[in-house]
């Protein structure tokens, strides 16, 4: 677990991002692949942090960081999303504001270019929290969001993965990872936010929805406790309400973020048989990253340092 302690006064700004967790190791990624992942993670964390530095909101920061990763073809979110059993993309995303507990989410969208931005619009411009399927796409279109043909999201890599999955041919170069992306942030005003976006599970049944668009499972933020974004086997994260459980442990047991994250990921999730991880930051700027897999694409930036890491320390 990576845990950083910072001062406890307002004025701290922190941004953490992830690009998915899974059982991959250094030998599974060529030096070239590592450079590509590092490039996109670095770009995303810098873009989000710049917003915080300029006094912008944590909501703006997490949305900006996630959009960059949705636009990158190497993550399982936005462009590059995995395909379902029928060969289609079905993307999910959610965002939450810790200041007022407002939240928005979309699920099973196929055409909105940036699902995380659609989730924010659901939060800010509708009376709902979660829209799904063609209704979510139509809502995004009706408010003028950028839309794409489904072919935009399908990359040669995602198509090849889908073909191999249906041929039941093991891919010796395949990496066992959940490429969900996410971000959490604390801004200068002491407000927390969290955002998560994913293409789901490769070859999933049509209509399957994981934890990423479920508030409390894959995403949660509350200024009284923490902001959390999760990645992993969504069914387990839903059953354990992973993101909310971390905040609840802090709220009701009065324990630290580090202890709450460790209890949920290393104890509860592992015992249930699920795998994955979380990034989390508390109201004082302390943050924790934990996963029970061999790898997790992650990066963070504070006023003191910027780090990008892939493998278990």
- Report the pLDDT value the prediction gives residue 178, as an integer from 0 to 100: 59
What number is the average pLDDT over the span 216-230?
98
Q: What is the pLDDT of residues 96-122, one digit of tens each?
A: 999 999 999 999 999 999 999 999 999
What number is the average pLDDT over the span 210-234?
97
Q: What is the pLDDT of residues 3-18, one digit of tens each?
A: 655 544 456 899 999 9
Share of residues in the chain with pLDDT > 90 (%): 86
Does the pLDDT value for residue 172 go beyond 70? Answer: no
Partners of 296 in the β-ladder: 21
Share of residues in the chain with pLDDT > 70 (%): 93
134-143, Cβ contacts within 8 angstroms, sequence gap of 24 or more: 136/106, 136/107, 136/108, 136/109, 136/112, 137/109, 137/110, 137/111, 137/112, 140/106, 140/109, 140/111, 140/112, 141/111, 141/112
What number is the average pLDDT over the span 143-160?
95
Partners of 272 in the β-ladder: none
Mean pLDDT of the chain: 93
- Report the pLDDT value the prediction gives residue 8, as an integer from 0 to 100: 44
- Report the pLDDT value the prediction gives residue 3, as an integer from 0 to 100: 64
- Report the pLDDT value the prediction gives residue 259, as an integer from 0 to 100: 97
Q: What is the pLDDT of residues 245-271, one digit of tens each?
A: 999 999 999 999 999 999 999 999 999
**Domains with residue ranges and CATH for the chain:** 2-306 (3.60.20.30)
Nearest-angstrom CA–CA distance, 193 and 211? 17
- Closest of 51, 61, 12, 3 to residue 283, by C-alpha: 12
Q: List active site positions.
A: 180
């Amino acid at each position: 677990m990576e845990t950083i302690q910072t001062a406890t006064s307002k004025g701290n700004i922190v941004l953490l991002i992830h690009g998915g967790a899974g059982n991959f190791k250094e030998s599974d990624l060529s030096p070239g692949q590592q450079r590509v992942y590092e490039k996109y993670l670095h770009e995303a964390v810098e873009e989000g942090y710049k917003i915080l530095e300029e006094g912008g909101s944590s909501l703006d920061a997490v949305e900006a960081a996630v959009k960059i990763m949705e636009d990158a073809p190497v993550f399982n979110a936005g462009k590059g999303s995995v395909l379902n059993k029928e060969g289609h993309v079905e993307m999910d995303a959610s965002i939450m504001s810790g200041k007022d507990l407002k939240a928005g989410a979309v699920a099973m969208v196929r055409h909105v270019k940036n699902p995380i931005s659609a989730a924010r619009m659901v939060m800010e411009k509708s009376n709902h929290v979660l829209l799904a399927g063609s209704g979510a796409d139509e809502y995004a279109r009706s408010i003028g969001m950028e839309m794409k043909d489904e072919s935009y999201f399908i990359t040669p890599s995602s198509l090849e993965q889908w073909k191999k999955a249906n041929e039941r041919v093991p891919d010796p170069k395949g990496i066992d990872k959940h490429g969900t992306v996410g971000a959490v942030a604390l801004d200068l005003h002491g407000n927390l936010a969290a955002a998560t976006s994913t293409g789901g599970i490769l070859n999933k049944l049509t209509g399957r929805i994981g934890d990423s668009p479920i508030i409390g499972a894959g995403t949660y933020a509350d200024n009284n406790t923490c902001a959390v974004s999760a990645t992993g086997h969504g069914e387990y994260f839903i059953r354990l309400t992973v993101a909310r459980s971390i905040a609840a442990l802090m709220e009701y047991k009065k324990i630290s973020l580090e202890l709450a994250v460790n209890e949920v990921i290393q104890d509860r999730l592992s015992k249930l048989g699920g795998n994955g991880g979380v990034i989390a930051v508390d109201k004082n700027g302390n943050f924790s990253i934990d996963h029970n897999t061999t790898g997790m694409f992650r990066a963070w930036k504070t006023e003191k340092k910027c780090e990008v890491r892939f493998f278990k320390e």
